[in-house]
Amino acid sequence: MNWLKKLLFIGVSGIMLGTMLNSNTYASFFVDEVEKVYDEKLQKERENLANLNRFKKIEKILTKAFDEKDENIIRFIKFIFDEQNSLTINQGEIVEKFEDIFDFSIDETSAIVKIIKNIVELSMYEDVIGDEKYKGLAVFKDHILQDSNLKIITKFMTRNDCFSQGKTIDIKGIMVHSTASPGKMADFWYLPWNRSYENGEMSREVCVHAFLDNIGVYQYLPWNHRGWHAGGPANNTHIGFEICEPEGIIYSDDYSQIISIDVEKTKEYFEKAYNNAVKLCVMLCKQFNLTEKDIICHCEGYELGIASNHGDVMHWWKFYGKNMEMFREDVKKSLQNRFV
């Protein structure tokens, strides 16, 4: 397998993907990336007619495959975009198909997949934060990040319908949730939730702005983007984030209540996660001109008639002697400290 085949594949895939996504950004991204790596060789080889023919041949195969909706090609492209498919689709089959067409080895195919994925993810992220409708509010402003020691990783769930619908909201408050999924930490949720409900990839419409745990925060949606977390009108007004629950909690079969919890074992985790939630709310309050009074949890949202009937977060916090009044007080203190 020589470099030229790889180059051609990446280039053609870029153009194909760019067309698929109705944007030239993707195609130009690929071309830039390819040129960076192969610049010198590219110039020489471009003059070589035989290689241009090879390029055209691959382009033809891919175009034909798309025109005819060749399932293997479509699955391969889906696989590139969607890590979840690596769990359900036989990668070997796809690689074999590509070996037939392009003579790629398994290692080469996975290297190409990685490059394409990285480029696409990066360009999608940049498209979002640079998008006019997000008005620079998709992520935290630099001075707010600098004022906090909270660790934040941004990785948008671009496959989730909630993301692709791209509705923005006028932020009026923050809704605090907890997952009711003991032991599943903030980084876990990207894979199961970066899916499309419309395409039957997940069983419910759900997406929150962020998950946090004892380590830090994963931001999965632009902050001023409408999420699906409240099961009610609060989706139109509130940023929603989930606090991950630690191992050592057992729920009743219908998840309506906690039937067993190891408070001693989970106390340290809780305190760290709670403090991270305070820090995140402080940052959100600063960026969106909110106060502690604008923060509610899911069960308070239900009481106010703007969210579905869920018990989080009080159903869990009560075991550690915490409630939302205390939480708001802690956020208020942190907000005031800044101005001392």
Q: What is the contact surface with Zn ion in residues (CB under 5 A)?
A: 177, 298, 310, 312
Q: Which is nearer to Zn ion, 12 or 208 (CB)?
A: 208
Among 268, 265, 141, 176, residue whose Cα is nearest residue 215: 268
Look-up of token digits 């869990």:
316
Q: Which is nearer to Zn ion, 85 or 181 (CB)?
A: 181
Q: What is the CA radius of gyration of the chain?
A: 24
Q: Which is nearer to Zn ion, 8 or 297 (CB)?
A: 297
Beta-strand ranges (E) seen in 88-148 are none
Q: Least distance (Å) from Zn ion to the CB of residue 22?
A: 35
Q: Least distance (Å) from Zn ion to the CB of residue 310?
A: 5
Q: Least distance (Å) from Zn ion to the CB of residue 177?
A: 3
Q: Which is nearer to Zn ion, 82 or 245 (CB)?
A: 245
How far, in Å, CA of 93 to CA of 96, rounded?
Answer: 5
Alpha carbon distance, N-terminus to C-terminus of the chain: 64
Q: Least distance (Å) from Zn ion to the CB of residue 260?
A: 21
CA dihedral for 274, 279, 285, 290, sign (positive or negative): positive
Q: What is the DSSP letter of 186?
A: G
Q: Please answer whether residues 283 and 223 qualify as being in contact, where contact means their C-beta atoms are separated by less than 8 angstroms.
A: no
Q: Least distance (Å) from Zn ion to the CB of residue 293?
A: 20
Q: Least distance (Å) from Zn ion to the CB of residue 308?
A: 8
Among 190, 222, 9, residue whose Cα is nearest residue 111: 9
Q: From residue 307, give the alpha-carbon distance in Å to each of 177, 229, 238, 303, 317.
A: 11, 9, 11, 8, 19
Q: Least distance (Å) from Zn ion to the CB of residue 312?
A: 4
Q: Least distance (Å) from Zn ion to the CB of residue 276?
A: 17
How far, in Å, CA of 87 to CA of 92, rounded?
Answer: 12
Give the pair of three-digit tokens for residue 317. Answer: 């916090």
Among 81, 110, 93, residue whose Cα is nearest residue 6: 110
Q: Which is nearer to Zn ion, 312 or 330 (CB)?
A: 312
Q: Which is nearer to Zn ion, 310 or 315 (CB)?
A: 310
The per-residue b/e assignment along 171-209, b for 16 or more CB within 10 angstroms, e otherwise, is bebbbbbbbbbbebbbebbbeebbbbbeeebbeeebbbb
Q: Which is nearer to Zn ion, 65 or 175 (CB)?
A: 175
Q: Residue 329, Cβ neighbours under 10 Å: how many?
A: 13
Q: Which is nearer to Zn ion, 136 or 183 (CB)?
A: 183
